[in-house]
């Protein structure tokens, strides 16, 4: 059976970034309205969930990789307390002003690697993001992109589930 997945952008999609452009401390961790309920719906529809996030603040020296790993552990814990399993969180630590890479969205290496590692079916999978670069990354990875409004409940955009 083919495995279908939802790749979620982190900031502006799951984590509210309306107050902070970069988020790395656990006390900045506020979920976007409806995130828990929407992830439950996606899980019930049989999708494996992944997070793919640009964290160029690491390259820029604003915070460390360790800060992000701690934040992600807190995020995973909060979601799993609500019976939501995130299979893996991938992040790109690079910033183009510091070092070039192929993983930062709009490039698709983070997504390509997860698709290969978990044998995900591309025709059945989506990336939900709040920016143009998310949509470009989805296109490069060969999956469909769903663009939502930053920091707003994504529920009105989940109509693709009824297809
Ligand atoms: Mg975003
Ligand atoms: Zn990168």
Residue in this structure with the two tokens 């109509």, named with its chain if needed: 159
The CATH number of the structural domain formed by 5-162 is: 3.40.50.1000
For the chain, how long is the longest CA-to-CA vector? 44
pTM of the model: 0.97
Name the pairing type of β-strands 48-54 and 5-8.
parallel
Question: 50: CA distance to ligand 1 center in Å?
Answer: 14
Q: What is the pLDDT of residue 27?
A: 92
Cα separation, 69 vs 157, whole angstroms: 29
Q: Is the separation of the CB atoms in 122 and 143 below 8 Å?
A: yes
Q: Please report the pLDDT score of residue 163 as a whole number.
A: 74
Measure 96 CA to ligand 2 centroid, in angstroms.
8
* Residues 80-137 pLDDT 10s: 999 999 999 999 999 999 999 999 999 999 999 999 999 999 999 999 999 999 999 9
Of the ligands numbered here, which is closest to the C-alpha atom of 150? 1
Supply the residues annotated as catalytic. Answer: 9, 11
Please tell me the distance between residue 56's alpha carbon and the centre of ligand 2 in angstroms. Answer: 8
136 C-alpha to ligand 1 centroid (Å)? 13
The pLDDT confidence band at residue 21, using thresholds 50, 70 and 90, is: confident
Residue 2 pLDDT level (bands cut at 50, 70, 90): confident
Ion ligand 2 contact residues with beta carbon within 5 A: 92, 94, 101, 103-104
> What mean pLDDT value characterizes the chain?
96
114 in Cβ contact with 90 (< 8 Å) = yes
- CA–centroid distance, residue 68 to ligand 1 (Å): 15
pLDDT in tens, 36-78: 999 999 999 999 999 999 999 999 999 999 999 999 999 999 9
Task: State residue 1's pLDDT score.
Answer: 62
Q: Which protein residues have their CB within 5 A of the ion that is ligand 1?
A: 9, 11-12, 130
Q: Where are the domains of the chain?
A: 5-162
């Amino acid at each position: 059976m083919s495995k279908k997945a939802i790749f979620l952008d982190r900031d502006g999609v799951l984590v509210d970034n309306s107050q902070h452009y970069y988020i790395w401390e656990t006390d900045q961790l506020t979920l976007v309205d409806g995130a828990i309920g929407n992830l439950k719906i996606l899980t019930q529809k049989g999708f494996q969930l992944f997070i793919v996030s640009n964290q160029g603040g690491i390259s820029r020296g604003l915070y460390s990789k360790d800060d992000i790993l701690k934040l992600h552990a807190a995020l995973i814990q909060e979601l799993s307390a609500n019976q939501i399993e995130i299979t893996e969180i991938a992040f790109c630590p690079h910033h183009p002003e510091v070092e070039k890479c192929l993983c930062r969205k709009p490039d698709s290496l983070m997504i390509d690697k997860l698709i290969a590692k978990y044998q995900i079916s591309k025709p059945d999978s989506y990336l939900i993001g709040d920016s143009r670069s998310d949509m470009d990354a989805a296109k490069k990875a060969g999956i469909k992109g769903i663009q939502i409004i930053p920091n707003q409940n994504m529920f009105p955009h989940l109509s693709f589930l009824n297809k």
